[in-house]
Amino acid sequence: MRFVGIQRGVGLVLVALLGLGLLSATSASAAGDVDRYLDLPLVNRDGSVGPGGVHPELPSGRVELGQALDEVRAAGIAPTRYAALLLQYWLADSTEQAGLDLKSWNPRAGMNVNRQNMINTYRYYEQLQLAHPELQWAGMAGQAGAALAGAMVDGQVALDAGTALDGVPAVVAAAQGVYGAVEQAAGPDALRQLPRGLAAVVDSGRTLQVADVRFMLSEVLVMWRNIFSDLVPMHEAYITGGLPALQEMQAAGLFGDTIMNAWRDIASGDVQRIPVGNAALMRREQQEIVGAHWDRVRAYKGNVGEALTYMMAVVGAPTVAGVVAPREFHQIAIPFTGTDGRAMKLTLPLPNWNWSVLDDRWAYISGELLTKYPQQVQHDWPTLVTEINKPFETQVTEHRPLFSTPEILESAIRGLKVVPADQP
C-alpha cells in the first residue's frame, strides 16, 4: 500500500539495535521536548471516553507524532515509556489512510455524524484485503461491516423520522405468535425451553423507548471505533514496517505474545498459518475489545438489552459466500413427549442463542466465518474481489434487515416442524 519512509525505517532500525543491546539507554531527559509524551496512560483507548486519540496531551497529526517518535527512539527511551505516543502515531497513520479526522472522531456524536466515518472505515478494511491477501481479518471486518452499517442506517432513519417504535407492536405480535405456535405443537412445557431473548422481545416490547434505541446505536458506534483503534494500527505497522514495527508495539506493552505470534503466522506466507493468525486477531476483537461492551448492552434495563441483542442474531445477514445467517445457526430444537407417548422434537428456524454472549458469538464466528472466508480467499478470489469492489453504499443498501423483523418471525412459525426425536 505504501513504502517505508527513510525516516521511519531509521527509527525501526534504532529500535532493533536497542533490543540487541548495541545502543546504550539514556535518561528520559535526553528526549528533550518530547518528555511530555512519556509515561502517558492510555486514558482514551476506549473511545467511549471522548473524541480524539489515546491521550489528550498527544498531537493528532502523523508528521508531528512521527518526529517525536523518532526522537525518543534515538534517545534510547524504553518502548514501555512511549507506548501512548507509539499507539497514537499508528492510530493517526491509520485514520489518515482511511480518510478520518482523528481529533474530532467521536462515536458518541451519533450515527448521522459518523455515517461517513463508518463507510470510510469499512471501505478501508476492504482495500487492505485487496492489497494484501493475507490480511483476512480486515476482509472479514469489511464484509461484515456492510450488514452492520445497514442496520445502523435503518435505526437512525427511524429515529430521525420519529418512527423508531412504530414497528414494535408488529414485532411483539409476531413473537407472541411464535409462542402460540410452539405451545400448540408441543404443549406449555415447551415454552420454558425457548430462548430468553425471545421472551424478552415480548416483555420489553411493552416498555421500549426511543432512548433505548439511541443507547443501542451509541454502544455499537463505540465498539466500531474501538475495534478500529486497536487492530488497524497493528495493520498499518505491519504494512509499513513489517514484524519489527509490531515487535516495537509488543515491547511497549500494547499487546502480548499471542498477538505477536498471530502476526508471525500472518506474515509467514503459509496458507495453513495465515488463517490461524487472523483467527487470533478476531478472537482479540470479540473477547478483549467488545466482549465487555456486549455484556453491558445485554444487561441494559433488564429485558430490553436481552431483547435487542437477541434480535441481532435474528435479523443478521451474512455477506460472505457460504456463511449461513445467524438465525440458521444452532436453531431452536425442543424435545418433548407426544400425545401418543413417543419422543418427539420441535424445530424452529430461529437462533437458540444470543449475539452478545461471547461463547455463542464465537461458536458462530469460528464455525462459519473463520471456516468459510479463508476458503473464499484461497479458492474464489475473483468473486471476493467483485463483492468488495461494489460501492460500499450499494453493499449497505443490500443489507438493511431491521424492518423485516416481523416477517422473519412469521416465516419461522411457518417453518416450525415436529419430527420423531431420533430423526436428523
**What pLDDT is attached to residue 16?**
42
- The count of residues in the chain is 424
Which residue pairs, CB below 8 angstroms and at least 24 apart, start in 359-368? 360/313, 360/330, 361/286, 361/294, 362/283, 362/286, 362/287, 363/329, 363/330, 364/313, 364/326, 364/329, 364/330, 365/282, 365/286, 366/279, 367/329, 368/318, 368/323, 368/324, 368/329
Give percent of the chain with pLDDT exceeding 70.
Answer: 90
| Reported pTM | 0.88
Q: How far is CA 147 from CA 128, 259, 308, in A?
A: 19, 27, 16
Average per-residue pLDDT in the chain? 88
**What pLDDT is attached to residue 298?**
96
**What pLDDT is attached to residue 398?**
61
pLDDT, tens only, 22-62: 333 333 334 457 899 999 999 999 887 788 899 999 999 99
What is the pLDDT averaged over residues 407-416?
A: 95
Residue 230's pLDDT band, with cuts at 50, 70 and 90, is: very high
What is the pLDDT averaged over residues 323-348?
A: 94
Query: What's phi and psi for 348, nearest 5 deg?
Result: -140, 125
What is the pLDDT averaged over residues 336-365?
A: 96
Query: What's phi and psi for 151, nearest 5 deg?
Result: -65, -40
Of residues 399, 295, 267, the one with CA closest to residue 356: 295
Residue 295 CB burial class (10 angstroms; 0-12, 13-18, ≥19): middle
**What pLDDT is attached to residue 14?**
38
State the cell numbers at 126: 476492504
State the cell numbers at 364: 458462530
Q: How far is CA 232 from the centre of its chain?
A: 12
Say how far apart CA 295 and CA 59 lie, in whole Å. 33
CB distance 160 to 173 below 8 Å: no
Query: What's phi and psi for 100, nearest 5 deg?
Result: -115, 155
Residue 171's pLDDT band, with cuts at 50, 70 and 90, is: very high
What is the pLDDT averaged over residues 211-234?
A: 95
> Which of 197-211, 254-268, 404-418 shows the highest mean pLDDT?
254-268
Amino acid letter, 159: L
Which range, of 31-35, 372-376, 397-401, averages the lowest pLDDT?
Answer: 397-401
